[in-house]
Amino acid sequence: MNPPTDPEVRAELIATVRRFVERDVNPVASELEHADEYPAAIVATMRHLGLFGVTIADEHGGLGLDLLTYIGVIEELAAGWMSLSGILNTHVMVANLIADSGTDEQRARWLPTLATGDVRGALSLSEPDAGSDTGALTCRAERDGDEYVITGTKMWVTNGARAGLVALAARTDEGITCFLIDKEPGDRYGGITVSRNIGKLGYRGIETVEMVYDGHRVPAAAVLGGTAGLGRGRHFILAALEVGRINIAARAVGVARAAFEASIRYAQQRHTFGVPIAEHQAIQLKLADMATKLEAARLLTRHAAERRSAGERTDVEAGMAKLFASEAAFEIATDAMRIHGGMGYTTELPVERYYRDAPLMIIGEGTNEIQRLVIARGLLRRHPIDE
Ligand SMILES: Cc1cc2nc3c(=O)[nH]c(=O)nc-3n(C[C@H](O)[C@H](O)[C@H](O)COP(=O)(O)OP(=O)(O)OC[C@H]3O[C@@H](n4cnc5c(N)ncnc54)[C@H](O)[C@@H]3O)c2cc1C
């Protein structure tokens, strides 16, 4: 875990990302999103800013910044275009997995190249018949001499086609094991085929794909954590998902902020019955509720990040932040559309994009139904009774 970042350094990077989003992202985001076009030029600048290595330790070539800085960056990116935060998220989770659970060789091999963004990371846990129920995975890795042979279908792999490294969960004799799959970006590599690019309501411009492994061979050294990591993959990945959930909460805050800011601006510009609509009490009540939910979502997200940075268990707090912020973002995006009236329903303003992007945060990194179960389990653990 990185040491706490100097608040001035944190504020400076977040301000830099905000300026970059205003200059390079806001003018083109809707057009790229409607065309479902990958934002190559924007990603190149993100690399230049060092964002792919934001949480990777400086000894491995990253910026070595803390989780609070990371969520600040994510909020700024998501306020411009939520998909950009998704381009970073699985990458950062893979880097965290290697930093926390990898061997020294795996850290030395992968972290420097992930830090520069030369290699991009994808995280592949879900399958067509195993999403919430991660214990139902069927993808199999059979030992064959010094290699493993991987066979199975993985679903919902965000960044899967452009990734050069996939952290993949597969079943071995010991249980579920995480493999670091070194692959060429593209639709085919060895025994791996990107079999489908899944069309989506929002979160466009970034690929989410189905991948088929048909006897793909990897060296035994690809097991995350080495021999000690056999059978521990689910544990490693579920621990990494705590940061993933805080990331999702920060993305929701970003989308909610953009929706709120668009609404409070529009409410003062748009006139009906001789006054700006901001003077109608019905609109004021919406603005007050939106801002309150946004602030509460941001505070829960920061609290979870601070707790995690302090090395404390954060399953409950990350779950609460993700649950509250994602539901708030969906409600705020809906209210933004209402405040914009007919214009909110058009493709001429980004409000419709916020409305389409917000629900992903309800589903991704564990649905909000599952989030409630995680929170309840954690609460019951923290409040035992003596009998
Ligand atoms: C755009 C997108 C990108 C994604 N990217 C990735 C990625 O990069 N890597 C990856 O591994 N996965 C990824 N996912 C997968 C995501 O994590 C799963 O979609 C999610 O965990 C839900 O799984 P499922 O879709 O199989 O739904 P299911 O598990 O089939 O759930 C269906 C419904 O049943 C509910 N439900 C299920 N079990 C219970 C229960 N025990 N109690 C109460 N309700 C329950 C769920 O909440 C949901 O409402 C992505 C998904 C999307 C949509």
160-181 tens-digit pLDDT: 999 999 999 999 999 999 999 9
- CA of 130 from ligand 1 middle (Å) equals 8
Identify which has the larger pLDDT, 217 or 240: 217
Whether the full predicted model's pTM is greater than 0.95, yes or no, is: yes
End-to-end CA distance of the chain: 39
Confidence of residue 37 (pLDDT cuts 50, 70, 90): very high
- CA of 367 from ligand 1 middle (Å) equals 6
Which atom of ligand 1 is found nearest the CA of 370? Answer: 47
Looking at residue 305, its pLDDT comes to 96
DSSP 205-270: SS-EEEEEEEEEEEEGGGBTTGGGGTTBHHHHHHHHHHHHHHHHHHHHHHHHHHHHHHHHHHHHH-
In 3D space, the residue among 189, 118, 204 whose CA is nearest the CA of residue 158 turns out to be 204
- Top mutation candidate among 33, 90, 125, 126 for ligand 1, by most atoms within 8 Å of CB: 126
Residue nearest to atom 24 of ligand 1 (CA): 131
Give dist(CA 98, CA 225) in Å, integer.
8
Residue nearest to atom 37 of ligand 1 (CA): 132
Q: Give the orientation angle of helix 233-269 with respect to helix 281-309, to 10 degrees.
A: 150
304-327 tens-digit pLDDT: 999 999 989 899 999 999 999 999
Walk me through the domains of the chain, giving residue ranges and CATH numbers: 7-120 (1.10.540.10), 122-231 (2.40.110.10), 234-382 (1.20.140.10)
Rounded mean pLDDT, 237-260: 95
Which atom of ligand 1 is found nearest the CA of 160? Answer: 8
Residue nearest to atom 40 of ligand 1 (CA): 370
Confidence of residue 185 (pLDDT cuts 50, 70, 90): very high
Looking at residue 386, its pLDDT comes to 80
Residue 1, pLDDT > 90, answer no
Average pLDDT of the chain, as a whole number: 97
- CA of 204 from ligand 1 middle (Å) equals 18
Calculated CA dihedral for residues 133, 134, 137, 139, nearest 10 degrees: 140
Residue nearest to atom 7 of ligand 1 (CA): 157
Which amino acids bring their CB within 6 angstroms of ligand 1?
90, 123-126, 131-133, 156-158, 200, 203, 208, 360, 363-364, 366-367, 369-370
Looking at residue 387, its pLDDT comes to 72
- Top mutation candidate among 236, 363, 371, 373 for ligand 1, by most atoms within 8 Å of CB: 363
67-89 tens-digit pLDDT: 999 999 999 999 999 999 999 99
- Top mutation candidate among 132, 178, 327, 357 for ligand 1, by most atoms within 8 Å of CB: 132
| 3-class SS of residue 89 | helix
Residue nearest to atom 35 of ligand 1 (CA): 369
Which atom of ligand 1 is found nearest the CA of 126? Answer: 11
In 3D space, the residue among 224, 250, 227 whose CA is nearest the CA of residue 239 turns out to be 224
Active-site positions read: 365
Give dist(CA 286, CA 264) in Å, integer.
10
In 3D space, the residue among 247, 189, 194 whose CA is nearest the CA of residue 218 turns out to be 189
What tokens were used for 30?
């809707």
- CA of 9 from ligand 1 middle (Å) equals 36
Rounded mean pLDDT, 360-381: 96
User: Is residue 249 a contact partner of residue 314, using CB atoms and an 8 Å limit?
Assistant: no
81-125 tens-digit pLDDT: 999 999 999 999 999 999 999 999 999 999 999 999 999 999 999
Residue nearest to atom 14 of ligand 1 (CA): 156
Rounded mean pLDDT, 10-25: 98
